[in-house]
Amino acid sequence: MFSFGHASYELKPVMNSGIVQKLGVCSLLLLLASACYRAPEPADLTIINGSEPETLDPALITSIADSRIVRGLFEGLTRLNGETARAEPALAEHWQISEDGTRYTFYLRKNARWSTGEPITSSDVVYSWQRVLDPKTAADYAGQLYFVKNAEAFNTGKWNPLTNRKYAADEVAVYAIDAHTVEVELVGPTAFFLDLCAFPTLAVVPRFWIEKHADKWIIEQPLPVNGPYQLDFWKLNDRVRVRANPHHWSNIHPPCRIVDFIPMSSPTTALNLYDAGDADIIWDKSLIPSALMDVLRERPDCHSFGYLGSYFFRFNTTRKPFDDVRVRQALSMAIDKRRIVENITKAGEQVADHFVPKGTADYESPEGLHHDPERARKLLAEAGFPGGQGFPNFTYLMNNAPIDAQISVELQAMWEKELGINMEIRQSEWKVYLNEQSALNFDISRSSWIGDYNDANTFLDMFMSNSGNNRTGWKSEPYDKLIRTANLQTDKDKRRKMLQQAESMIIREEAIIAPMYFYAGVNFFDPEKIKGIYFNLLDEHPVHLIRKVK
């Protein structure tokens, strides 16, 4: 146990009595009997948040559930506006952009402090970005900084012929001009760079604390943070509790002083807790019982809306027979996606034959592969598997969400019926699933992607050869070149055409992924009691803006 002020970190699951009564958990009785547990004070706001966090380190998070918590704890130079989901000033009070769009000068707030009282300076910003790019950190989202000059070269260990050594951290073009001024030099003009600065991976973290505690910095107390909330405690399989940060630069305390994020994997349990009044918000569509979606959508506290998110699956292109593009195309074209959105998801999702969602700014996707079972059978035969003969059994990797399980069973039936091939389903707990996917320990894997900002690049650059989020084993220098060149373009039409060409490669010519549908967000909260939630294309709802009406 690590003490944290009046609270603590515990490495065993503990739940408060209200939740235990709903779940029928008896282990708490043993703890009460031995006087080892004292229930925490009630939270002002309780959110059912999805899976247990993997980490709260901004450099290492990869899931939406983790980012919801981290955004409240750590801020970057900018943050997302709760209504528009576009960048607004955070640690940087204001900034200047050069005429050619390649140099940004940020001016930090002089009253910005860590929750432990130390001032936040420009050197903290430089350190935080260098840490993300350091190969030793192994940040999946390091590529978000590749728009900064020399960032990619440092992260990938490229050789610098001028110095006759690999690029070093201090060669990355982010500079501390003085204690409150940061200058950033970009490879080329990047229209969405301010939105990137609001992404959790680019948040500013406490160098003095990390250097003191190394890998344990996120669990040592008292954790220095700079967001509107500070970490109170994190009890595994119970909750993450955050509390208003009195040292936040805004000097405005959030309406909800104490907020609990409850990890949950069971839709039935989540809905029961919510309906019993033990939670105020359900913030993960996978926690809405899909069998009841038709009925639940009629309730006034069920809110459905479109946002920039795609559900798809990845092929492991390093494994036979999925190294053959004809096989990948065949499996993609054999899927009746409309049947899935009408019979399983049922929240208003749109069938996706392309990857970048509709509504993405300044972009329209190229045509992808459509449902065509006859053509799929011909492609499979051309690949050497007529009628599915000789096709090896293969596995479909997925996490343990009930709706994903239903989709996997449907895919299994479709591929057996249309192609005569046999798929085995491998269901894993969330963390195991992510690790297996990163290690390419799968044949086909269920996947999803939510836009980090409103631009097609957030969906397309993940399949560049050196991206930590690629997870297909596919590498293409022509694809990489298209993405890099497009992002240096100032002509919107030329840039759009390049990105369309790149998207066509991954969904049609190479078919390394199979888009399934575009997400419809579904949240549960009583609009008469909960205010400050604004629906936007990124499904981002800053917790510090949410208030309860009694």
Q: Which residues, other chains included, contact 122 with Cβ-Cβ below 8 Å and sequence gap of 6+?
A: 108, 176, 177, 178, 179, 180, 181, 182
The closest of 535, 286, 297 to 430, measured between CA atoms, is 286
* Cα separation, 96 vs 75, whole angstroms: 19
Q: Which residues pair with 231 in a beta bridge?
A: 242
- pLDDT-derived band of residue 121, with 50, 70 and 90 as boundaries? very high
Region 204-224 average pLDDT: 97
Q: Do domains 1-71+227-301+525-550 and 309-519 have the same CATH topology?
A: no
Q: Which helix (H) or strand (E) holds 123?
A: helix 122-133
> What does the pLDDT read at residue 285?
78
pLDDT averaged over every residue in the chain: 91
| Domain residue spans of the chain | 1-71+227-301+525-550, 75-216, 309-519
Q: How many CB atoms lie within 10 A of CB 437?
A: 22
Computed over its alpha carbons, how large is the radius of gyration of the chain? 24
Task: List, for residues 300-354, the tens digit of each pLDDT value.
Answer: 999 988 889 999 999 999 999 999 999 999 999 999 999 999 999 988 899 999 9
Q: Which of 215-219, 365-369, 402-406, 508-512 has the lowest mean pLDDT?
A: 402-406
- pLDDT-derived band of residue 436, with 50, 70 and 90 as boundaries? very high
> What does the pLDDT read at residue 10?
32
Region 266-289 average pLDDT: 92
CB 539 within 8 A of CB 309: yes
Class of domain 75-216: alpha beta
pLDDT at 17 over 60: no
Relative to beta strand 45-50, strand 78-80 is: unpaired
Region 97-107 average pLDDT: 97
DSSP 203: -
Instruction: Write down the CATH number for the domain with range 1-71+227-301+525-550.
Output: 3.40.190.10
Task: List, for residues 452-481, the tens digit of each pLDDT value.
Answer: 899 999 999 999 998 989 999 999 999 999
> What does the pLDDT read at residue 306?
83
pLDDT at 361 over 50: yes
Q: Which residues, other chains included, contact 507 with Cβ-Cβ below 8 Å and sequence gap of 6+?
A: 353, 354, 355, 366, 368, 369, 513, 514, 515
* Cα separation, 505 vs 517, whole angstroms: 19
CB 532 within 8 A of CB 516: no
Q: How many CB atoms lie within 10 A of CB 29?
A: 11
pLDDT at 184 over 80: yes
Q: How would CATH label the architecture of 309-519? A: Roll (3.10)
Q: Which helix (H) or strand (E) holds 305?
A: strand 302-315
> What does the pLDDT read at residue 4?
26
Highest mean pLDDT among 273-287, 296-310, 503-517: 503-517
DSSP 470: -
Q: Which string of b and e fits 379-398 if b means at least 16 CB within 10 Å?
A: bbbebebeebeebeebbbbb
Region 92-98 average pLDDT: 98
> What does the pLDDT read at residue 39?
61
